[in-house]
Amino acid sequence: MKKANKTNKARAMRLVPFSRSPVSIIIPFHGEYERVGRLVSSIWNATRSNPYEICLVDDCSPNSDFIASMKDQPQVTNLRTPERLGFGGALKYGFDRTEQPWVCFLNSDCEIKDVNWLIAMGQSLLDLKEQGVRMVSSRTNNPGNLGDKRLKGKKGDFINDVILEDTYLPLYCSMCHRDLFNHIGGFIKPYPYGWYEDEELAYRMRHYGFKQAISGKSWVHHEGSVTVKTVLKNDLKAKEIMISNRDKCIADISSL
């Protein structure tokens, strides 16, 4: 019987790099066509690390011609919802119609200016897997007023990855494995228009034993609240509906 090769036996295991992992980048939008076009162009120009597809989900925008005009663009899947679904519902519409094992949820008012934005998030997921982390977010110039304050930073201002304990990711640019939702009771909640689905998701993930984290070396530019401001301007009842999503969030958390 041959003896085991001592050199191979003693060699430390290496983490598999994320660079060959295919990603579905799902971008829901309602209007703001110029920003959507700019975002898609920025992904093409900056992303070289991974095989990816861009899935544009037009959440029943007024101009149905825009999504049709994108049909021949490389690496882009174009979808249009039959009715207004809101942020969570539009994400689900794209999620159900894509197949890559990794998914990135990206707001339409983001812009990619860092070539490592995608691979850094993926590598953080692999590095933190043994600690229970199953979703990560990039940092940004504008994470909004909610979520974790450590999400805010300048391009190139790297920090160590941060595992969240009692805060949450606002989902402007987040990544996870597709299989996550099979283990936490389903997908992101389709609350009308948006708001509070991010908080509910973080609580539910913790309930099932999974964590969220900030990828310290990933960064995207984010304008913030562009679609929400447009909705509130054009629909006087929308704000009341969105505020009432808090009650839905509390009820969903209480039911766990």
The phi and psi torsions of 152 (rounded to 5 degrees) equal -80, 135
Confidence (pLDDT) at 130: 97
The DSSP 8-state label assigned to residue 115 in this structure reads T
Beta bridge partners of 133: 211
Average pLDDT, the chain: 91
Mean pLDDT calculated for residue range 157-164: 97
Name 43's Cβ contacts closer than 8 Å, sequence gap at least 6. 25, 52, 54, 112
Per-residue pLDDT of 203-249, as tens digits, reads 999 999 999 999 999 999 999 876 677 777 777 788 899 999 999 99
For residues 108-123, give the mean pLDDT.
Answer: 96
98 φ/ψ angles, rounded to the nearest 5 degrees: -125, 165
**Any alpha helices (H) in the chain, and if so which ranges?**
6-10, 33-46, 65-69, 86-95, 117-128, 197-207, 226-234, 238-254
**pTM for the predicted model, two decimal places:** 0.90
Confidence of residue 256 (pLDDT cuts 50, 70, 90): very high
Q: With 50 as the cut, is the pLDDT of residue 12 above it?
A: no
Whether 1 contacts 199, CB under 8 Å: no
Checking if the pLDDT of 11 tops 80, the result is no
Q: Answer yes or no: are the C-beta atoms of 210 and 133 closer than 8 Å.
A: yes
- Position 1 pLDDT exceeds 50: no
Token pair, residue 74, equals 């490389």
Tokens of 12: 């430390």
> Is the confidence at residue 151, as pLDDT, over 90?
yes
The pLDDT, as a whole number, for residue 29 is: 95
Residues 38-90 have pLDDT tens digits of 999 999 999 999 999 999 999 999 998 999 898 888 899 999 999 999 999 99
pLDDT of 174 > 60? The answer is yes
pLDDT of residue 16: 55
Those residues whose C-beta lies under 8 Å from the C-beta of residue 61, and which sit 6 or more positions away, are 29, 30, 31, 33, 67, 80
